[in-house]
Chain A
């Protein structure tokens, strides 16, 4: 058990809809990262938050947004969904931001299916 909790585990929705994915980081971790995993593109970094503030952006679409709340949980909002958004979305957390100082702890992911 990584200590990172993601809800829901599965989500099925229609094109054009909007969904919210939730992540609770491991206790004591200040950084939250969102990743998208698909068969054709592998693991893609979307965005990172550290202690409530956006720290880095990766390949995140404008239709997607995220935030980290004062209690450090994070939400990823996906809007105007397209079939291609179907993927496994992972949240990860770490104590800090240094790659050498703290590993990433991953949740079990949310599987999003857009029909």
Chain B
């Protein structure tokens, strides 16, 4: 059974950079897409972007200038970097995956709450 686990800081200061890691287990990381989705407290879901295992990426244009997603297949991990943080970036960040492509999401991490505050 595929499992995803996010890790990273729970509190980040405004203007700083957020770095999150997602560790993938229970299957092969190769041949799959890996996605980051976030959810501000009490609000809906926002697709941040995805990465194919070979490194090809797609980003949400609303975040494109600030976001980067990367993958390390040897460690079975993929990463999210988000720069120039503001309070609007406060959210639960989920790493997600599906064996069927980048389109919809079967497997979700538990989510990690990131608060942007001084």
Indicate whether A and B interact. Answer: no
B residues adjacent to A (C-beta < 8 A): none
Residues of A at the B interface (CB closer than 8 Å) are none
